[in-house]
Structure 1
């Protein structure tokens, strides 16, 4: 039996492995992808200070440090079941069964698809798939693309695709429907867009973003949109259908009102050889459900997340979570959460030698500071939502304790 198994070799998993191994724990990381790094592998962006961040390079640094500390990293291995035992956890994988004293789930997030007529045509992909093609595999997804879905993810990756030499014709909204929900609402998407104005190359847009009211902004938003890095972001146009015979040839669009109603007679086909659909991210928490974790639905964090505290502990002994499984945030926040989880696990196993509480408290403060300084916030109210989630954790523990007292 080893000390710790980590599922997920992204920034959270690698960060946890490093902090745990630095305290003498025997650690094994499992990941279904062929390379460690997770979503870091697809990232390439410029920080406000002008410094470029290459996710592949950052992932390599974490990988090398983990290997140096003796962490066993197994890629191309999937986990399909988890069972709580008297002494810890039994992890069932496509390679073998592993027993560990503690278990950390750092499985990240998955993309939320938005069905659009014609989305089964060759050349249609998720925005994340296009990012991986361009930044990881160095393959252009196409020459001229249209992105359906205006959000933090689509705007950020549109810039990355542009840096790959791809022409992005426009970013526009999906057609209003029960499935697309707020993703097709110009006012709601205006709120999302305003959280990105600090990234705009134009000082006018950066300044104006601080003062624009979302509802007023959606009504006054020009029909041809505003441009960021030369890419038109169109909140008053919608994608009705992806067209083509044997592959993508274009998108049939139409103008919409500020409330999302399609304006008849404005339809036209815009040519493109690939289309990306961006529906946002949702915590990938299936394994936590298999393990038996308690859940809470938190829109600010992207959906259903395992209930946990600031130490990244769940309501199940020896089971921890970190990264986007706990709520969709940046890779830097995920890495900082991983550090907290690794230290908390080391404390549970009595491996931290000195100043235990101080070390972990400082790591928690680092998470909070990293969150507040994050370049991109996927949703508003994340900090408050996390505090409420932590309160739910302690409430659930208190209820469980009361139940045990009654039974005894």
Structure 2
């Protein structure tokens, strides 16, 4: 068994930023990640922000360059954390493979999020992938997912990846609604899916943006979406087809098309189905935090129906209800990489305060880091799910209520 002052679980934007802070403070830390390359979702992100390119791979490399100047931090990649428990005032981190276990005084969980796929009939055919998988293929490995594809599922990730695939010269037949039925109820009604589009109007053509006030009214939103042409509306380098629903994926030994049908909300199909020829399909059901290891450690988690909005109960520095256990990044709720990095800094500051048993933590630095977090949120281009601010507010209230009760 080896030991370390701090173990960081996850080498994504939050984990790497926390590691840089700890390294510069001279704290002995180990970053564990199941992937062979550090960077997490940073590696696949690329977009234009206020006239400039924001390239996640470049940001990840800058963080790794900073870590190379921190001899007190080591990376342990291609290794999974399979258990976390507290014994004799120390955390015992159980690892996969031959790496054994690590004993640590504190742990920062930055496990990020996982994609929620949509179980469309025949989704096991070769050529079907999550929308994030297509993003990694194109942006990380420089591989085209196929010649012509289709995205099933309306969401922020759908539009972001559609734009990235367009920049990679990958043709898309559009973005369509998922099938209707019990397996898809967690996505909400069609009216609810349509209403979320108002949060992504900044991605639409300029001529569509004046429609935002009308889209905020359910009855007008329904009329506008139902009246859209079947070939769709130009958005994010592809076509949004809000009144077209996927029925099933078509093909024998690989994807050859998707059977589509026109629809008017949640009512029965409003026309005859047809097969749209494509050779790959991206399923986009959104993202969910991965707080499993936090639960396993015994820390309080604010749970939700179906587990899609489960988040740890945590304080402003990422402290949880378990002593010496901190959280940062998308495990706290789905936001952008810049927000995750700001949260990583805060969790690292909280960890240093914990290690030094300092009740009078650096309030000036805390305020500066909290200001960076709010600035990152203000500048974010995409609100992944309009429900997240409310969920995070409830988690913060749960933390404050716990403090008041003590």
Q: Give the alignment of 1:34-183 within 5 angstroms.
A: 34-47=36-49, 49-70=50-71, 71-94=73-96, 95-181=99-185, 183=187
1:182 is displaced (CA, Å) by: 5.3
Q: What's the counterpart of residue 210 of structure 2? A: 207
Contact 1:223 1:237 in 2 (8 A): no
1:160 is displaced (CA, Å) by: 0.7
1:229 is displaced (CA, Å) by: 4.3
Instruction: Give the match's secondary structure for 1:142.
Output: coil
* CA shift digits 1:311-347 (9 cap, x unpaired): 1011000000100111111111100000000011111
After TM superposition, the score normalised by the length of structure 1 is 0.92
Instruction: Give the match's secondary structure for 2:182.
Output: coil
After TM superposition, the score normalised by the length of structure 2 is 0.93
CA, structure 1 residues 210+22, in 2 after alignment: closer, same or farther (shift >3 Å)? farther
Q: Which moved more, 1:262-271 or 1:315-324?
A: 262-271
1:285 is displaced (CA, Å) by: 1.3
Q: What is the aligned counterpart of 1:246 among 253, 257, 260?
A: 253
CA, structure 1 residues 302+52, in 2 after alignment: closer, same or farther (shift >3 Å)? farther
Q: Indicate yes or no: 2:345 matched with 1:342.
A: no
Instruction: Give the match's secondary structure for 2:247.
Output: strand
Q: Indicate yes or no: 2:379 matched with 1:373.
A: yes
CA, structure 1 residues 133+389, in 2 after alignment: closer, same or farther (shift >3 Å)? same
1:115 is displaced (CA, Å) by: 0.7
Q: C-alpha separation between the residues in 1 aligned to 2:221 and 2:116?
A: 26
Q: Indicate yes or no: 2:329 matched with 1:323.
A: yes
1:303 is displaced (CA, Å) by: 1.0
1:302 is displaced (CA, Å) by: 4.8
Q: Which moved more, 1:167-176 or 1:384-393?
A: 384-393
Q: C-alpha separation between the residues in 1 aligned to 2:40 and 2:123?
A: 26
CA, structure 1 residues 357+298, in 2 after alignment: closer, same or farther (shift >3 Å)? farther
Q: What's the counterpart of residue 9 of structure 1? A: 11
Q: C-alpha separation between the residues in 2 aligned to 1:265 and 1:383?
A: 38
* CA shift digits 1:157-184 (9 cap, x unpaired): 0111111121011100111112212536
Q: What is the aligned counterpart of 1:195 among 195, 199, 206?
A: 199
* CA shift digits 1:64-101 (9 cap, x unpaired): 11221222011101110011122321101112211111
Q: What is the aligned counterpart of 1:269 among 275, 286, 292?
A: 275
**What stretches of structure 2 of length at least 5 have no aligned partner?**
none
CA, structure 1 residues 339+51, in 2 after alignment: closer, same or farther (shift >3 Å)? same
* CA shift digits 1:280-323 (9 cap, x unpaired): 00101111111112111368x95111111111011000000100
Q: Which moved more, 1:3-12 or 1:205-214?
A: 205-214
Instruction: Give the match's secondary structure for 1:195.
Output: helix
1:355 is displaced (CA, Å) by: 7.2
Contact 1:189 1:235 in 2 (8 A): no
- The count of residues paired between Structure 1 and Structure 2 equals 396
CA, structure 1 residues 390+184, in 2 after alignment: closer, same or farther (shift >3 Å)? closer
CA, structure 1 residues 187+148, in 2 after alignment: closer, same or farther (shift >3 Å)? same
Instruction: Give the match's secondary structure for 2:175.
Output: strand
Q: C-alpha separation between the residues in 1 aligned to 2:223 and 2:87?
A: 58
1:386 is displaced (CA, Å) by: 2.4
